Structures are given as structure tokens and as C-alpha cells.
Structure 1
Amino acid sequence: MSVRLVITEAMWDRIEPLMPADPVRGRRWADHRRTLEAIAWKYRTCSPWRDLPEELGSFQTAHKRLIRWASDGTWERILTTVLAAADDSDDVGWTVSVDSTVCRAHQHAAGARKRGSHGRAEPGDHGLGRSRGGLSTKVHLVSDSHARPLAVHVTAGQAGDAPAFEAVMAGIRVPRIGPGRRRTRPDALLADRAYSSRAIRSHLRQRGIRAVIPQPSDQVGHRLRRGRAGGRPPGFDAEAYTQRNSVERRINRLKQWRGLAMRTDKLAIAYQAALHLAAILIWARR
């Protein structure tokens, strides 16, 4: 059986130095590159773990590695390091866009234990909710101006966009290579009308981030009815807003991995780890 691989030599040259070293005691890690290819194959095809091709090794090894590195923060650390290298070469577009998408959850995603061994990393609801369409998960995403992911946050499918805004923005933490603090503040943020709330605009104003968010018609009408007490309309740059489609393009491309378009994981940290792996490969491809 011939398996189509996604990690090129150039990509692996960037990822290999970031892989965890072999433990001092105990068995050595299985081949990191083959394991990453195995995890990527599972989520690209949305196949059961047990159907993993023999060329990609043991499915138990790939699954355990996904969960272990999700629990100890290894996936996030690798993504952060890749982002730091991109920022050091001025390859990050800091006019960012935020949006969310609902992903259907397979029936196999339900039934996880309420109390697991993953501690605070796993949310109590496992990022799984029920809406009109059935079981679902919502993925909140921030992308740079080149349609590449900067931060990902997973919630239950019925959750609103505004309540999760600060959580996904807190995921933007790009360290400097050399002296200096982590970069956590983009130059501008583009978002649709779902994010037009007083709390979000105040949060961005306090952090010195330019908000490019249109007002919905009900907020405009309410302000006009109040007359002078309604205050001035918030600033809006229509030309800059045309770049907001970058986050929508990134969401569409992420959903080309069928295992991300439809969630089959019982644990939210496993599903989010797969999103982090997809983001790592996107940045390593630059």
C-alpha cells in the first residue's frame, strides 16, 4: 500500500530540532517523523485509528503520542517556536482576523468520562455541545494577514463567539528570538458583526489594538435613537475590512482535513492537538 505523505524534507528540517529528546531512562521515542505522518494521515482521511497503514507504525503509538503531548503542552510549545522563527524573519502579518466555525461531531465523540486523568487541560464539557444540528464543537481561530493560524481555541458548539473572544486572543503569545517580551498584541483586528460588543471594543482599546468591526443594524438604530447620549459611531475602516476573508480562507483549508471538519475525538485536547499539528505544518511549509 502506498501512503501519501505531507511532510517534505524542508519542512522536517524546521520541525526536527523542536521534537522532544529521548528520555534518559526507559525506551526511546519511536521515529518522530513517522509518528507525525501517522497523526496527519488519520486526521486528513478521518479514518479510525485501527485502520492506520502499517507503513506509518503502530496506531497505539501515534494515539498515545497525540494525547501525551496535548496534556503536557508539547504541541503548543512547538507551534510557538515555529511562530517565533517566522516573526523573527518578519513573516507574520500582524493585521489579524478572528472568526469561528462549527464542526459536526460524530457519535463516537460522545461518551468520554466526566473525570479524566488529564487535569485542567481538558474542559469539563469536553468541548462538546448540542445545537439544532446535533452534537458539535466550535473552533475559534485567529489568523494573520497571510491566512495562517496564530491561535486556536475549542468550545462547545452552542457557545457564542463573543464570550470566547478573550480566550482565543490570549492564545497569541509569540516569543522573541533574543531580548524582549512575547508579542501578544497585533496591530489591528478584523472581525465580523458577531464581535461588535462594548466589552470587546473596550478590551481592544485598553490593549491598544485597532478594531475593524462593523456595527450591526440594531446597534446603529439604538445609538441613533438615543441622540447625543448615544455618542459617536465607532471608527470603521472599510478598506482594511476587505482583508477579513483571510481567516475564512484558513478555516476552509483546515476543513480539507476531514478529521478536523468532523470531530471523532472524545477529548477536546486531542482534537485541539490535531488543529495545532495542522497549524505547525502550515507554518513549516512557509
Structure 2
Amino acid sequence: MDSKQSQKRQALGRSRGGLTTKLHLITEARGLPLALHLTGGNVADCTAFETVMAKFRLRRRTGRPRTRPRRLLGDKGYSSKKIRLYLRRRGVQAVIPERRDQKANRKRKGSRGGRPPAFDASTYKSRNLVERCFAKLKQWRGIATRFDKLASRYLAGAVIASLLLWLRQAELSDSP
């Protein structure tokens, strides 16, 4: 097996800093992780979007788990027609800012460029919950630096750290 296939299988990608890994996640309203996915550091965010969404399951007390959130907040890396169409077809409100080049392209086309996508700036302010979740996960040194050679072990460590975040939250909510 050549090294490029091996690197891809182990979620390693070449960037300016060397071999890196990117952790994609979906959080809930309190900033706790719900779905995790691992890719190489050179993989664009928008290419991993559908894979992360496929892993999303939200359990309720009764009934089947939800597979669609009401709204999805994402940064400019997730701004694409394909993602917006994916969300629209599933009835999910997209709160994703439009990239500068997309705005310029739409304006250049004039009336044929269409309307700008809907964007709720006040809702987007709560997107920092995702960044805070990353910060909490990276308090674990093994996740922040990826000492593990195998992607499966690294992802298992991230899942364990996520479970500890959930347990810590449950412990805090149970205390008087």
C-alpha cells in the first residue's frame, strides 16, 4: 500500500505545519458534542459535511431519535450551494454566512445572480459554542496533539473526552 492511501486512511493530511488531522463535530445547544468525524488536515470542511450529518442522532425520552436538527450553524467553510440545498431539502434552517467571493460572484451576475441566502446574525452569535466545545476537547493533551498513530485510536480518545464532557454536564446539573 502506498503512503498516500495510508495517510488518507489514518486521517492525515499535509498542510503548512506538516501532517495534520481535522476533527469535525456537531454540538447541541449547550455546546456538548453529538457527532464526530475525522479527516485529514488538508480536506475542506464542506466535503465532510454529509458524513458528519449522517452520524447525527439526537435521542429523546420517547420515540425514534431525531436525525435532523431544527437549525444548523456553520462557519464560512460550509457556505456552498450543495450544502444549502441539502439542508433546505431536509427542512433545516441554515445559518451560514456567505463567503466574500460568493457575494462578489452573485453581484457580478446582477439580476441573474439570485437573492442572497437568508442569514440570521443574532442566531449566528451562538456559534461560538462549537469553538468552545473544541477548546474543551483539546484540554486533553492527546486530542490537542494527536500522539496516536492510528485514526481509530485518536477518534476513540475524542469520543471518550466527549463522554466525559457529557458526564461533567450531568453532574453539574444534578448538584443543588
Q: Tell me what 2:18 maps to.
A: 134
The answer as to 2:116 corresponding to 1:233 is: yes
Q: Give 1:265 deviation, angstroms.
A: 1.2
Number of residues of Structure 1 aligned to a counterpart in Structure 2 = 166
What percent identity do the matched residue pairs reach?
52
Q: Give 1:193 deviation, angstroms.
A: 0.9
SS of structure 2 residue aligned to 1:274: helix
Distance in 2 (CA, whole Å) between partners of 1:162 and 1:176 is 28
Q: Tell me what 1:147 maps to.
A: 31
Residue deviations 1:49-91 (CA, integer Å, cap 9, x gap): xxxxxxxxxxxxxxxxxxxxxxxxxxxxxxxxxxxxxxxxxxx
Q: Tell me what 2:166 maps to.
A: 283
Q: 1:251 aligns with which of 118, 134, 141?
A: 134
Q: 2:66 aligns with which of 183, 203, 207?
A: 183
The answer as to 2:78 corresponding to 1:195 is: yes
Distance in 1 (CA, whole Å) between partners of 2:135 and 2:65 is 29
Structure 2-normalised TM-score? Answer: 0.88
Gaps of 5+ in 1: 1-110, 115-122
Distance in 1 (CA, whole Å) between partners of 2:122 and 2:56 is 25
Q: Which runs of at least 4 in structure 1 moved beyond 2 Å after TM superposition?
A: 174-178
Gaps of 5+ in 2: 171-176
Where does 1:1-286 land on structure 2 (aligned, <5 Å)? 114=6, 125-178=9-62, 180-285=63-168, 286=170
CA contact (8 A) 2:23 2:38 kept: yes
Instruction: Report the RMSD for the aligned CA atoms in angstroms.
Output: 1.8
Distance in 2 (CA, whole Å) between partners of 1:149 and 1:235 is 26
SS of structure 2 residue aligned to 1:234: coil
* Larger RCO (alpha carbons 8 Å, 6+ apart): 1
Could you say which structure has the larger radius of gyration? 1
Distance in 1 (CA, whole Å) between partners of 2:149 and 2:101 is 39
Structure 1-normalised TM-score? Answer: 0.55
